[in-house]
Structure formats: structure tokens, C-alpha cells
Chain A
């Protein structure tokens, strides 16, 4: 048994070289093809022994020298193997190049890719750290780590049972992580999976399911949020407001741009952004508002854009009293045709397609805004800006109903995850 292990080790050590690896693969293939159909997974060690025996004469001496560092991850038996492979791979930045280097290091080390499952699991875990969790190339590279053609079932019994279950499971893990990050596999992924696991294997089926569902869900959201949200608070406010307003005629006005300036006295003056939105319909509603009744500035209300939360304020009126609500159509309204018929007949039941909806009476919303700060002084500037386009606002009392809003929340999250905050303003919070 000892001899066998030594042999194995020796083969493994010798596998670090590319030339050798190719030679080995070239040799391997006819051998694999020639193998009998009765072979099943537990025969693999024997196979390795055979093949390693085949090359033992040439490189044994060289590999015996050993590259201790190279296989430490495998040997030290830690729970998180191969971690240091990644640690070593990044000299400086943790990026795609560094990650690829780590994968290449592993691949070069051993032609048999011993421990590839552990390595792949580790790699999957490390992906977000390297910021490559949304990179299809990297996933394909990881799949490439699997030895090819070894796990393809060769007869009906293998096909019937779960052939190389751990490897298949690992392949599924890779695909699952892709699924979780919404990465669509491509042709290369399929090619690799076919090479590794063969047709109708579990990973291939997973791949097929992904390819069935992902395109269907890709555009399922009728209101998509852009993949990368703008960092500029004004731009962010603009897209958020347009999103809430849901009216293509609504006009965004930047009432104040964010600005930091040093005054003559050497005092720092900071100006916060105020961005508002109002549609022509809202303008009309406001124009018809009875100026003796107050309008209210309320907020902040949260709006989530993926992982970013922004807060907005609304200018609203009170629900109209019932006597003002009814709009009577003047009989002398339309020059061309009657607007209503003088008939004593109502709509029949079968054509009444409206559902009964219990409606909560709400006041009209006249405008919305997002601002750098939620204090009354800042919001008053917004109202002042609105008065330019809505003259009636200058005669209407404006009541500020402001809640402290996210401040407490902010404090709590500050202590918990201080560095994850987007620093530009207190009312934009990022949760990871």
C-alpha cells in the first residue's frame, strides 16, 4: 500500500509541467478509449497507477525533488484548502488576472488535477472577493479545471446510476453559483460540460434548465433598474424620481447642484443637491388646488434601487371634499358630438368588467423631490423653486410634516457596517 502511495505522490509531483501534461494527455486518450465498458468509478485509482507507471521512468527523479509549496494546500488538510493558493496568486490587486493566475497555478501543478473538487469549491467561495463573481469567462475557466472525459459514463449502467456523484455535484455547484449571480452560460460552458460529464449528466441537465429559464426571466421586470447605478447623487435622484413618477411627460428640475466652496471668510459652505420632478398633470392639479387649503411636504419615504436605498419627499394635498370632486360635463362642451346621452339605461351586468376595488381615498400628489438633506430649510428651497412654475404655491400655506426618517437607522448601520456606506450623503445607504 505504501508503495502505491509513493507512486501516486511521485506522479503527482511530476505533473507540474505543461509539456509533460500534454504528453500524458496524448497518451491517456487512446488508453481511455480502449478501456473496457465494465469499468466503473472505483477502478480509477488503478487506472492512475497504471498511467503513472507508464511515465515513472522519465520524470520520477525530477519530481522527487518536490515542490513543497505547490501542494501545500492539498497536504496541510486544512478545512479551507487552496486558500493560500489564492492568497499567493494576488500580488497587489484582487482581480480577474490574479484569480486566473490562481486557477492556472492549480492546473499546472497536477495533470490529474487531484483535489479539483476542493479547489473548485474554494474558487467559487473566493470569487466575490476577487470581484469576478459575474464573469462568465472565469466560470468557464473554473469548469476547465475538471479533468476531461474521465467522468463521462461509458455504458448504460453508469448512465443509470449516479456516475461520479461528487464531481457532478461540484459541477452543479458551479452552475448554481452562476445562476445565483444571474450569469447565463454560453456555448463554451456547454462544450466543457459535455467534455467533462457527457450528455444527459446532471450538470448538463442543470445547464439546460438554466438555458431554458434564464432567457425567459431576463426581461421579466418591466421596470429594470440599470446594472450600475450612477454615483452622482443628482443623476441617481433623476433616475429614481423618473422611476417613481412613471410619467414620460414629467420634467425633472435640478433646483440646486451639490457644491462645496470656501467662502471669503474661510468658512466652508456646502450646498446640497435638490432635484425635483413634476408632470404637467400634477401642475394642472396644483393650479386647480384651492389656495385656502394647505399643502403638505412629507417624507422621507424610502425607495430601493437594487441594494441602494434613497429617500424622497412629496408635496401633496388633502383629499378633496366630496362636493368638489364631481366634475359636471357641460352639455355645451363638444362642438361635434354629445358627450353624454340622455338615457335612463345603465350598463348591463355582463359588460361591467370592473372589479370591485376598495379604494382608500388619498390626496393628490403635486410634486416629488430628492434632496441632500431632509431638513426644512433645504426643502423650503425646493418649494421656492416650485413656485416659479406653480404661481399658486406662493399663496398656499405649506406645512412640513417631516419625520426624522433614516437617521436612527443610519446610526445603527453605521456601527455595524461603517465602511460599506456610500459616503456622499447620509440618506443614501448601501447594504451588502
Chain B
């Protein structure tokens, strides 16, 4: 397998960010990227269905989630079963003994695996991040040496980045690797915390500070990635952490004390660990969409069963509007999540190394938040029952909470989504904005005329519907809404760039809205694209899909309009100033500072 050039500096790669203005057609979307909805061939489908059957059977028959949660440990038999199914090497190429699944197929299996949070996290920590470094940046020797054993599950991998004083800040990494005098190995020293699989793993991807000499001869500390075997010695781990959810997954501290790592075990190059880490993190996220969707689909089944059998006032729960609403919400979320996840996976499977990190981040944010809301609503349907430990629902709630936190918190990913998009838009628009700021009458006039036309109610046509439209006519309303949102979002982004320029990095409240709108736009695009395909090829229940898409698009359209209206206002009007002020006052005193309502002054 010829190694694709490692996408170093992913910001240089052309981003296919739908919502942000594209270079060819400003304020439009790259239709060819998202329409038609990606498909897999019949052979591939058959192949994946062959996997799905046994895995589903295994999970329903042999994985005792309740016991795993109670004992906070996955029993060895279960692990062995997972290994036998090949689930430890899903994305490892077949030549190294893995299943060699594409991203789409990986996402499909992820749906089933997510039925047990602990197992899903154990597997994800192993292959989505743990061994990903070797897979995407390792040398052929490293791959040949490590991947076969990792694929069979004989060795388990872990990803060691977080430290007591370092989350997302590379500068605060304290673990240090010093080169030995003969230059053949590094001595690794330091501690890592909250390492998933830390207690089980035999192979660690460790990030440590190394001293390197610059081109101009200055010494500098840079991050380097290493493959560390437990067998190298000096690797110890603390006792497993007691967690809220995903209790069966093993999370603990890992300490390295004078661990001798040969130079051959450096991933990428010495000092190039930062980019390795970034790429691993960026590539590991997309599968969360299908995983969440899988979980919600299961949850809908279980709660629908309850709602259709329990009776109150001689009426079934399912006859109550407020209960029905919850099922609609869950169905819509699951549908959109699934659409986004498989669209992203499909794009990632295209030839070349397409950089879909922004889309993956969008999928992660949308699906993790959707999952949390859906689980909470499902619990609401169940009432008191959902709160009881005898039933599995509270475990779903606990397990799904971590989705918003790990693999980059949603807050951090929103910054990533918005800033990457802004950077991209900025490249295209800088010239124009500068012209206008300089007082170029022509450009200013154009902007004014556009604004005027917008205010008169412009008909936006980006080619989604109409004569040569790519979306199905049944989705015309939704597509129009998406087009309009995209057009105005382009205008809004341009306005933001003009207003904030490069200082927008510090405007987190603005960026959050930008991220929310782009996530919604991507979600709308994915849903419309998928529903169009379903109608066109006549999939079962495609009318249901149309309903779901229309519901989602209408809601998202209003949310987007609200967010964009806020974005066009200044901080004093859109509450940003007040929000910051309240936070400042609370944080200054580090407490809630209002007087008690019973307090009096006279």
C-alpha cells in the first residue's frame, strides 16, 4: 500500500466546507461534493451485512451491559469474543490482518458496537486514536511490526496525550523524552492521566517534549510522538478511575519512568508530534455520529414498546401529544445524525486523502448533543422507570454524557469549526473587504446594492431545486430554506470578517454562533441529500424521511435566522456584553453574588 502523503498542516488543504463561501461560486455550496448522497457498491453492502449479523448477535447475546457497568470491567470472555470478531482491527488493512473496512463500513459497525458504551469506548480508544498514529503516520516497518498484533487484539493500544496540567495546550506537556548519548534511543519520563485502556494496553502512543535544534541552531522544545511498548519497562499505571458512565472502560493514569524507547519508534519525525496528534484527533471523531444514531435507534425501540403498552386514563401513553412529540424529536435527531455521519464517511472514502476534519467535528458536536437530548427525552417518556437502576435507561444517560466531553469538548470543536471556516472565508474575501475599507466606491456600491436587494427579499437560487436541481422536488421547501440560509450566512460571514478581522479568534460568543449555523447547514444539507436519494431510488418509507427532513430543516432554518440576526448586531445589542459582564462578576467573587431573596436592608 502506497502511503499517501501525510496531510501535514491541514489548514493548507482545501476545505470543502459547504456552508462557507466557496472559491468558485461565492455564497454557494459545492453541490458535487454532497449530491448525490454517497453510496457503496452492492458487493460492499453484502460484505458489511455479513459482518453486521454476527456482531449484532454477539452484542445482543453475549454482552451483559448491566454487569459490565456494575463491575466496572469488561469480562475477558467478552473481550475475547470481540477479538474473534475482528473488531480490534476494523480499519487496519487486510495485509496487516485487519478487516480493512472503509470509513463507511466502520461507521456501520459503530452503530452496533455503541449498544454498550464501555465496549465502544474501549474499541474506539484502541483503534480510533490508540493505533491511529501508526496507521496514518507510521513507517512500513512500524506497521508491519505492530499492526498485526493490534489487529488481532493480542495487543491493545492506548493514546497518551492528556496530562495533569495539559489538556489542549501543547505547551504545558511535561512528559519529556531525552535522547541517549548514542542517539539510538530516548528516555521517556512523565505521567499521563485519564488514559482510556491505560491499564489494558500494551502499546501506547505517547506524546512527549523533546529538545530539537532549529535550522538556525537554536534549541527548542517540540512535541514528538512515540510508540511505546509496555515491555520497554518503566511503564506503570494507576488504579482504574471510578467514572460516571462508560464504567466498564478502563481509564487510569499511566506513568513512564526512564522508559527506553528506540529511535525507530518515533511516529512521523522528531518534533513533528503536534501534527500527528492533531491528525489523529481530527480523524477519530466522525464515527460518533453513527454510534449515537445506533444508540438512539435502539432507545426508540425500547421506549416505544413502553409507550404503546402503558395505559393511563384508559389511553395509551403513545396517544398523548407530548409523548408523541418526544418520539418525533428522537426520530428527527437520529435521522439527521445518521445522514451526517454517512455523508462524512462517504466523503472520507473518496479517493485521495480528503480532509474532512471540519465535517467530522460537526458530526461529533451535533450527534453528541443530540444523543444527550434524546436519552434525556426517552427517560422522560419512561418517567420514574427511567430513573431506576433496574432498567438500562439510566446507564444510557450516564454513558452518553461523556460524548460531549471526550475527543475534544464540544466547545473546543465549535471553535475549530468556526475558525477553520473563517480562515477559509477570509482567504477569499480579504481582497474584497480591503478594497471596500480603502474606500473603493465600486465595491462599496456593490455591497450596498446587494444589501438593498436582500432587504427587498431576494430569491436565492443555488441550483438545489428547479430545472436542473439536485434535490428532489418534494424537498423544495427545505431546499429553498437551506439556500436562503447559505446565502445569508455568506453575507454574515463577510460582515464578521469586515468587523473583526483576525481578532475574531477572541470573539468566542460570535464564533459559537458561526459554528452552530454551519453545523445546522451541514445537517440540513446531509438530510436533504439523503432524503433526495431515498425518494429517487424508492427506499422503503421514504415519505417518512421527507417528513423528518422537512421538520428538521424548518426548525434549523429559524434557528439559523435567529443566530444570524444576532451575529449582525453589535455586542451591546445581542446580549454578549451582558453575558460577559455577569460571568465576570460571578467569577470575580467565585460565587453566586445575588443577595438572598429573604435578605432585607431595613
Q: Which residues of A contact B (CB under 8 A)?
A: 184, 186, 211, 214-215, 218-219, 248, 330, 332-348, 350-351, 353
Contact = CB atoms under 8 A, between A and B. Distances in A.
Interface string B261-297: 0000000000000110110010000000000000000
Contact of A334 (B11, B168, B503, B595): B168
Nearest to A248: B590
12 contacts: A219-B595, A330-B171, A332-B274, A335-B278, A336-B415, A341-B505, A344-B430, A345-B434, A346-B502, A347-B503, A348-B500, A351-B571
Interface string B550-591: 000000000000000000001100000000000000000110
Given A219-B601, A335-B170, A335-B277, A341 B434 contact: no
A343 B504 CA distance: 10
Given A333-B171, A341-B505, A347 B430 contact: no
Contacts of B434: 344-345
Given A333-B170, A334-B168, A343 B502 contact: yes
Contacts of A344: 430, 434, 502
Nearest to B497: A345
Nearest to A347: B503
Contacts of A248: 589-590
Contact of B602 (A214, A336, A347, A353): A214
A156 B522 CA distance: 79
Contacts of A346: 501-503
B419 interface: yes
B222 interface: yes
A215 B505 contact: no
A140 to B, nearest CB: 15
Given A214-B601, A330-B171, A336 B426 contact: no
B359 to A, nearest CB: 15
Contact of A345 (B275, B412, B502, B590): B502
B413 A336 contact: yes
Contact of B170 (A332, A340, A341, A353): A332
Contact of B416 (A218, A332, A337, A353): A337
Interface string B191-216: 00000000000000000000000000
Contacts of A211: 602
Classify the interface of chain B: helix, strand, loop or mixed: helix
A327 to B, nearest CB: 11
B307 interface: no
Contact of B169 (A219, A334, A345, A347): A334
A330 B222 CA distance: 10
Contact of A184 (B171, B416, B602): B602
B578 to A, nearest CB: 14
A-B pairs, top 6 by smallest CB distance, nearest first, are A345-B501, A215-B601, A337-B416, A332-B274, A343-B502, A337-B415
A350 B602 CA distance: 45
Contacts of A333: 169-171
Nearest to A346: B501
B602 A343 contact: no
Nearest to A340: B505
B486 interface: no
Contacts of B497: 343, 345
Contacts of A336: 168, 278, 281, 408, 412-413, 415-416
B20 to A, nearest CB: 13
Given A215-B602, A343-B426, A345-B430, A332 B419 contact: no
Interface centre among A218, A335, A340, A344 (most CB of B within 10 A): A335
A217 B415 CA distance: 43
B281 A335 contact: yes
A337 B595 CA distance: 40
B542 interface: no
B316 interface: no
Contacts of B423: 338, 341-343
A257 B412 CA distance: 48
A346 B437 CA distance: 10
B502 A340 contact: yes
A340 B416 CA distance: 11
B502 A351 contact: no
Nearest to A344: B430
A347 B170 contact: no
Given A215-B602, A248-B590, A341 B168 contact: no
Contacts of B223: 332
Contacts of B72: none
A341 B422 contact: yes
A341 B503 CA distance: 8
Nearest to A218: B601
A339 B168 CA distance: 11
A350 B499 contact: yes
A248 B277 CA distance: 36
B549 interface: no
A104 to B, nearest CB: 28
Given A341-B426, A344-B430, A334 B170 contact: yes
Contacts of A338: 11, 416, 419-420, 423, 505
A335 B420 CA distance: 13
Contacts of B275: 332
A335 B161 contact: yes
Interface centre among A186, A215, A337 (most CB of B within 10 A): A337
Contacts of A350: 499, 570
Contacts of B590: 248
Given A214-B602, A336-B281, A351-B571, A341 B415 contact: no
A332 B502 contact: no
A348 B426 contact: no
B433 interface: yes
Nearest to A185: B602
Contacts of B170: 330, 332-335
B281 A351 contact: no
A344 B169 CA distance: 26
Nearest to A247: B588
A339 B500 contact: no
A135 B499 CA distance: 60
B65 to A, nearest CB: 31
A431 B408 CA distance: 59
A12 to B, nearest CB: 39
Contact of B168 (A219, A335, A351): A335
Contacts of A340: 502, 505
B498 interface: yes
B364 to A, nearest CB: 12
Given A215-B601, A336-B408, A350-B570, 9 more contacts: A211-B602, A218-B601, A330-B171, A332-B275, A333-B170, A338-B416, A339-B505, A343-B502, A345-B426
A287 B185 CA distance: 32
Nearest to B600: A215
Contact of A347 (B408, B416, B499): B499
A103 B146 CA distance: 98
Nearest to A353: B571
Contacts of A186: 602
Contacts of B408: 336
Contacts of B595: 219
Contacts of A348: 498-501
Contacts of A332: 170, 222-223, 274-275
A163 to B, nearest CB: 28
Contacts of A214: 601-602
Interface in B377-433: 408, 412-413, 415-416, 419-420, 422-423, 426, 430, 433
A336 B169 CA distance: 9
B267 to A, nearest CB: 15
Interface in B345-402: none
Contacts of A337: 412-413, 415-416, 419-420
Contacts of A335: 161, 168, 170, 274, 277-278, 281
A3 B206 CA distance: 113
B268 to A, nearest CB: 13
Nearest to B277: A335
A228 B210 CA distance: 57
